[in-house]
Structure 1
Amino acid sequence: MAPVGGTPKPPKKGILERLDSGEIVIGDGGFVIALEKRGYVKAGPWTPEAAVEHPEAVRQLHREFLRAGSNVLQTFTFYASEDKLENRGNYVSDKISGQKVNEAACDIAQEVSQEGDALVAGGVSQTPSYLSCKDKAEVKAIFQKQLEVFVKKNVDFLIAEYFEHVEEASWAVEVLKESGKPVAVSLCIGPEGDMHGIPPGECAVQLVKAGLEPRILTRWDVQKYAREAYNLGIRYIGGCCGFEPYHIRAIAEELAPERGFLPEASEKHGSWGSGLSMHTKPWVRARARKEYWENLLPASGRPYCPSMSKPDAWGVTKGAAELMQQKEATTEQQLKELFEKQKFKSSMVA
């Protein structure tokens, strides 16, 4: 007789088992920035009480990353240490506490992970206690409280992320290793470190004078990044702050040949812009190929940047053959003609 509820799912392969077998593991993206943009996280404190206050928002973002191709759902526990919640005025003992936020975050991630073949990773990050020069025992005690929840909720592995001081990162790893679960760690540092006496204001002035413009990676940048990372032998690829589900989908699409399948979210999307072949405007249809996006120049939106000084419009309007609409999919021959016209237009502008 089959068990009630149907055939049970086979046990999930762990993170080390997947990597040892050569499997490509795709992480998820950034929760803090995404949920701040959606109005559930306060810019500045960046604390994750939304797991308690708005669990449906956290659940939905997990689901979007899973649908986009993620194999790992990291608990929304960034800055979820007790001292951080207290430090930024978000601690309310009967509603919001380190334990309640961490437990809620684990429950949500575990719930959504059952909708696919995804692992759950418990995460810790840097603490105000370390910045306030608390001793090693006090800082490790902060991590220990979070670890107790992760062990209780039986997450699959642990991540110590976004540490600006390697000493604190080492202390976090020492605590997390007590669980006996696999542990990963990442640092937030530049090529020369992060604290060399240059004030943030002076850094900002120098960057503005140099013309540096902050921008979010495009899906095309991410596809190239995923391919280069894979070629280097990296098999666990994900993102952090600013990484949206479409970035994760880009990784999954780029590595689909190696993985053997596309994510569910690709149903409405064509890799490298191929879906644009159905666009009404010919100059947009001409972008429906990998070469266009690989050679696209970064643009800030300011005057004289590539997107402003070299517009794609071809000067055709109503009645032009290229604008005549059809119900059928654009043919290969039609696309070829558009690609050739695009090359001609580009050479004329240059």
Structure 2
Amino acid sequence: MSKTTGLLQRIQDGETVIVAEGYIFAFERLGYLKAGPFTPEVVMDHPELVRQMYKDFVRAGSDVVQAFTYYGNRSKFKLVGREDELEKQNRLALKMAREVADETGTLMCGDLSNTWVYEPGNDEAITKTKSMFKEQVEWAVDEGADFIVGETFGHLEEAVLATKAIKEYGKGVPAVITIATHFTKTTTEGKPTTADGIEFNEALRRLVAEGADVVGFNCTRGPRSMIPILESAVEANIGAPLAALPVLYRTTIKEPSFFTLPDPWTGERAFPLDLDCLLCSRGDVVKFTQRCAQLKIPYVGLCCGNAPHYTRAMAETLGRVTEASKFSPDMSVHGMYGTDDTKINIYYTDLHKTSSSDTIKK
């Protein structure tokens, strides 16, 4: 473990901890990871790229290097015929994350995720899920994780299994557990629930009772549709620090999950390959971060769709100057929008004054 101030102490001291997630979608966009299985094979195939992405996110403002072990479980790797490489993949992802964290003075965390193996009431599936969580927790601890994340759980009970595994095999490292809305379900009063029908605030309370140190929400919901459930959790005072890590897609109150978002041009479901047309803007990230700050949510980040410029926008909204801030936008010297007359071409200045519709006609 690192000698830097730990996660829970930082939160206790009133800090906001930024955590960059989103490696799965980022590497799929780059062409190093297959959509469908979404397994982190790039760790084995191109470790130098994973190390660089760790650095890029820290440079943009992440306080944590989250080891790329999402979907790095036995079931997922068996699906792509690489189960014999599983431990090597996990340990390599963790080792690189530890090295980058030590180089940059940040924290490193291990990462568990939903398994797609768990089934309520299925003893065999539950046993397999427990086994997969156990080995990933043990690898993370061996490689020096400062804390362990368990994320994107649609079922509360699978989240509980992850919490118990971290508490039993994690040798005292904190557990950050976040739930997601894989399936759009509500109570009779219209409140959103987990896939197993537990109202969100009650689900968070149960996770705290099981020993989770930080609880909250990640994935599936974008900034706009995550805010209401965060406001509800703050008001409910669930008994532990809250985490908020939305996807970078423009979900709505009507369509709160990016699984069901329609392509605005075709009306067809955009997930998973046509989500690009629904990406959030940096301004969306700024507004989300501002609201989280108002709500005093101490653990914030971004999930699927994330990229360093989004993380930088989040960090700068919180008043930070990151290494990447050297290259933050400065439109005062832009050829069309700039204010320095000596650098602006007259033609483009006139074009800028023309309405967009007139420009299209021309």
Query: What TM-score, normalized to structure 2?
Result: 0.68
- Other-structure match for 2:143: 153
Mapped to 1, the partners of 2:348 and 2:301 lie a distance apart of 44
- Other-structure match for 2:110: 122
1:216 correspondence with 2:279: yes
Q: Secondary structure at the match of 1:129?
A: coil
Can you give the 5+ residue segments of structure 2 that lack an aligned partner in the other structure? 187-192, 197-256
1:231 correspondence with 2:265: no
Q: Secondary structure at the match of 2:326?
A: helix
Q: Compared with structure 1, are the counterparts of its residues 322 and 129 closer, same or farther at alpha carbon in structure 2 (3 Å cutoff)?
A: closer
Q: Compared with structure 1, are the counterparts of its residues 129 and 233 closer, same or farther at alpha carbon in structure 2 (3 Å cutoff)?
A: same
Mapped to 2, the partners of 1:129 and 1:320 lie a distance apart of 61
Q: CA deviation at 1:285?
A: 3.5
1:34 correspondence with 2:35: no
Q: 2:328 aligns with which of 269, 294, 309?
A: 269
Q: How far does the alpha carbon of each residue in 1:224-281 deviate from its partner, in whole angstroms, 9 at most, with x for none?
A: 111110110112111111111111000111111xxxx4001010114xxxx0111111
1:305-324 maps to which residues of 2 (within 5 A)?
319=346, 322=349
Indicate conservation of the 8 Å contact 1:29/1:245, yes or no: no
Q: 1:278 aligns with which of 325, 329, 333?
A: 333
Q: CA deviation at 1:157?
A: 0.3
**How big is the alpha-carbon RMSD for the aligned residues of Structure 1 and Structure 2?**
3.3
Indicate conservation of the 8 Å contact 2:154/2:195, yes or no: no
Q: Compared with structure 1, are the counterparts of its residues 174 and 65 closer, same or farther at alpha carbon in structure 2 (3 Å cutoff)?
A: same
Q: How far does the alpha carbon of each residue in 1:51-104 deviate from its partner, in whole angstroms, 9 at most, with x for none?
A: 12110110111010000010011110011111211133333x2xx22x111101
- Other-structure match for 1:177: 167
Q: Compared with structure 1, are the counterparts of its residues 247 and 233 closer, same or farther at alpha carbon in structure 2 (3 Å cutoff)?
A: same
Q: How far does the alpha carbon of each residue in 1:94-141 deviate from its partner, in whole angstroms, 9 at most, with x for none?
A: xx22x1111011011111112322101100011143149434333211
Query: What TM-score, normalized to structure 1?
Result: 0.70
Q: 1:108 aligns with which of 96, 117, 137?
A: 96
Q: Identical aligned pairs, as a percentage?
A: 33
- Other-structure match for 1:293: none
1:76 correspondence with 2:68: yes
Aligned positions, number: 274
Can you give the 5+ residue segments of structure 1 that lack an aligned partner in the other structure? 1-9, 287-316, 324-337
The AA in structure 2 aligned to 1:76 is: F
Mapped to 2, the partners of 1:79 and 1:210 lie a distance apart of 27
Indicate conservation of the 8 Å contact 1:29/1:248, yes or no: no
Q: 1:20 aligns with which of 12, 17, 21?
A: 12
Mapped to 2, the partners of 1:318 and 1:238 lie a distance apart of 40
1:44 correspondence with 2:44: no
Q: Secondary structure at the match of 1:114?
A: helix
- Other-structure match for 1:7: none
The AA in structure 2 aligned to 1:181 is: V
